[in-house]
A = this chain, B = another copy of it.
Amino acid sequence: MGILQVYNSDKTEQNQIGDSVYQLIEELFPICRSITGDGVRETFSIIQKHIPLKVQEVPTGTQVFDWVIPQEWNIRDAYIKDKKGNKVVDFKKSNLHVLNYSQPINKTIALSELIKHIYTLPENPDWVPYRTSYYNPNWGFCMSHNQLTSMQDEVYDVFIDAEHTNGSLTYAEYYIPGTNKEEILVFTHCCHPSLCNDNLTGISLATFLAKSLSEKNLHYSYRFVFAPATIGSITWMSQNEESLGNIRHGLVIAVAGDNGCMTYKKTRNENSEIDRAVLHVLKNKGEKFDVMDFSPWGYDERQFNSPGINLPVGRLTRTPNGCYPEYHTSADNLDLIHQSALVDTYTTYMKVFYVLENNKTYINNSPKGEPQLGKRGLYRNTGGHRDIENRQLALLWVLNLSDGDNSLLDIAERSGLTFDILVNAALDLTDCGLLIDKNASA
């Protein structure tokens, strides 16, 4: 096993991974998660069957930068019952029906009063929206707009058996050591209840990417963090501030299983090595992809790219948050995601890791004119041909630009050659002594 095997293109292995990723999503789907509570703990416990997640609890009331860990929320049951005793909506059928972080309630009220606490999507009348009220005490229900319009003007029993208690916020991480203590961070948010693309796909892919990397020899160390969105990433940064300096590159993985194309959102710096590595991979995959400039709106990349943290963390998703109609609704379910898309996302991430792992800067040991490649068996014997193969062109590019200022990714960008053909050229040239690793030489 060597550094070059981070990316494994074996189709059988990919299909096995596709099965595993999908099955874990199915298993996690019914759980009611939130930014705190037992749903998150149950989720981590299931992931621990695959990777040795280390779970952390941060108590209610802890100051985390500008924020304070809120009371923990747990819910057992909730429903609206009409006067005949029929449950109009039932938390046990879908946890989306309750406004996430709702206060408990148990009373009988008229529809005219109840309706102030009901959230629907008139533009998609069959779907139930996902709504939250983490920091503003409130109670509420979400339902399809069609269901709301069919409700009689009568009194209803509303019941939410939830509690807010001093407890903790729960996050988890898995650290995979490489030969270098510099880290690649992969972050995924784990606070959404029964929503599939956003973000069980990110959770499950992060699990199996981590599992696969843990079986390889790595240059970088990798840190996979599973935490609630916003307050979770802020909590994690706050609790681990002294070691953030080890992070060299990062990606937020989410919304990773729909049929849309891969979409990369750049870091705040917009020309970080992670930006260039991802773009090189996407450009060379031969499929449509989208690129977004950085903005401070989206997922947890906005926290990592805040001015006082300023880590080069990009976001690599499929269709981004808010850009597909099923986003944050009951239609973001198992039907929305596809095993082929999950495998494609997985493969893309592995290719990015491959680039980062191998993106070295070399120095040409024979920099005056071209060295004679023929006598080293690296060049064809007959001269006079019209064309040159990419394999030989890669040798010439690596030699020409290896002046200590250009990494292999720089050379890939300038030459138009693929990264892997340049990696192989660099290895061949290193083997015959024409090239040395700049860091090794220092």
Q: Which residues of A contact B (CB under 8 A)?
A: 65-67, 99-100, 119, 129-136, 138, 230, 233-234, 237-238, 241, 268, 295-297, 302-303, 305-310, 322, 327-328, 364, 366-372, 374-375, 381-388, 393, 396-397, 399-403, 415
Docked Cα-Cα span, A117 to B67, in Å, equals 80
Q: Within 8 Å CB of A309, what residues of B?
A: 367-369
**In the bound complex, do residue B386 and residue A136 qualify as a contact, i.e. CB atoms below 8 Å apart?**
no
The interface residues of chain B lying within 8 Å CB-to-CB of A400 are 268, 296, 302, 305-307
A369 touches B132 (CB 8 A): no
How many angstroms from the CA of A439 to the CA of B287 in the assembled complex?
A: 49
Across-interface contacts of A305 in B (CB, < 8 A): 400
Instruction: Tell me if A369 and B234 are in contact (CB < 8 A).
Output: yes
Chain B nearest CB: distance from A10 CB in Å? Answer: 34
Question: A308 with B364: in contact, given A370-B303, A372-B66, A372-B67 (CB under 8 Å)?
Answer: yes
Q: Which residue of B lies closest to A325 (CB)?
A: B386
Residues of B within 8 A of A66 (CB): 366, 368-372
Task: Find out whether the CB atom of A374 lies under 8 angstroms from the CB atom of B136.
Answer: yes
Establish whether residues B238 and A368, one from each chain, have CB atoms under 8 Å apart when the complex forms: yes
Q: When A and B form their complex, which 10 residue pairs have the shortest distance between CB atoms, in order from nearest?
A: A308-B367, A132-B383, A136-B381, A307-B403, A296-B400, A308-B368, A296-B396, A234-B369, A66-B371, A307-B367
Bound together, the chains give a CA A430 to CA B117 distance in angstroms of 34
Closest-CB distance, A64 to chain B (whole angstroms): 8
CB neighbours of A238 from chain B (8 A): 368-369
Chain B residue numbers with a CB within 8 Å of A133 are: 381-383
Q: In the complex, what residues of B have CB within 8 A of residue A367's CB?
A: 306-309
CB distance from A415 to the nearest CB of B (A): 7
Contact between B234 and A386, CB atoms less than 8 A apart: no
Q: CA A370 – CA B299 in complex, angstroms? A: 12
Tell me how far the C-beta of A434 lies from the nearest C-beta in chain B, rounded to whole angstroms.
Answer: 9
Contact yes or no, B399 A369, CB < 8 A? no
Given A136-B381, A327-B386: 7 more A-B contacts, CB < 8 Å: A66-B370, A66-B372, A130-B384, A306-B369, A307-B400, A309-B369, A322-B386
| B contact residues around A67 at 8 Å (CB) | 369, 372
With both chains docked as a complex, state the minimum distance between the C-beta of A266 and any C-beta of chain B, in angstroms. 12
17 contacting pairs across A/B (C-beta < 8 A): A66-B368, A99-B382, A134-B383, A135-B374, A234-B368, A237-B368, A237-B369, A238-B368, A296-B393, A297-B393, A303-B369, A303-B370, A307-B399, A307-B403, A308-B364, A308-B366, A322-B387
B297 A369 Cβ-Cβ under 8 A: no
Name A65's contact: one of B234, B297, B306, B366 (CB within 8 Å): B366
> Nearest CB to that of A309 among chain B residues?
B368
Q: Are B383 and A307 touching (Cβ within 8 A)? A: no
**A400 to B306 CA separation, bound complex (whole angstroms):** 5
CB-based contact A384/B322 at 8 Å: no
* Contacting residues, chain B, for A230 (C-beta < 8 A): 370
User: A237 — which chain B residues lie within 8 A by C-beta?
Assistant: 368-369
Residues on B with beta carbons closer than 8 Å to the beta carbon of A134: 383
Partner among B130, B296, B297, B388 whose Cβ is within 8 Å of the Cβ of A297: B388
Interface centre among A367, A384, A403 (most CB of B within 10 A): A384
Which residue on B lies nearest to A400, using beta carbons? B296
Distance between A240 CB and nearest chain B CB, rounded to angstroms: 12
Task: Determine how close the nearest CB of chain B comes to the CB of A61; give it in whole angstroms.
Answer: 15
Closest residue of B by beta carbon distance from A121:
B386
CB distance from A370 to the nearest CB of B (A): 6
Nearest-neighbor residue (CB-CB) of A364 within chain B: B307
Contact with A397, one of B99, B234, B295 (Cβ below 8 angstroms): B295
Residues on B with beta carbons closer than 8 Å to the beta carbon of A327: 386
Asked if residues B369 and A233 are in contact (CB atoms below 8 Å), the reply is: yes
Known A-B contacts A234-B369, A369-B234, A400-B306; A384 and B132 likewise in contact (beta carbons under 8 Å): yes
Docked CA distance A241–B381 (Å): 29
Residues in B neighbouring A296, C-beta threshold 8 A = 370, 393, 396-397, 399-400
Q: How far is the CA of A399 from the CA of B133 in the complex (A)?
A: 23
Q: How far is the CA of A297 from the CA of B370 in the complex (A)?
A: 11
Across the interface, name the chain B residue whose C-beta is closest to A415. B295
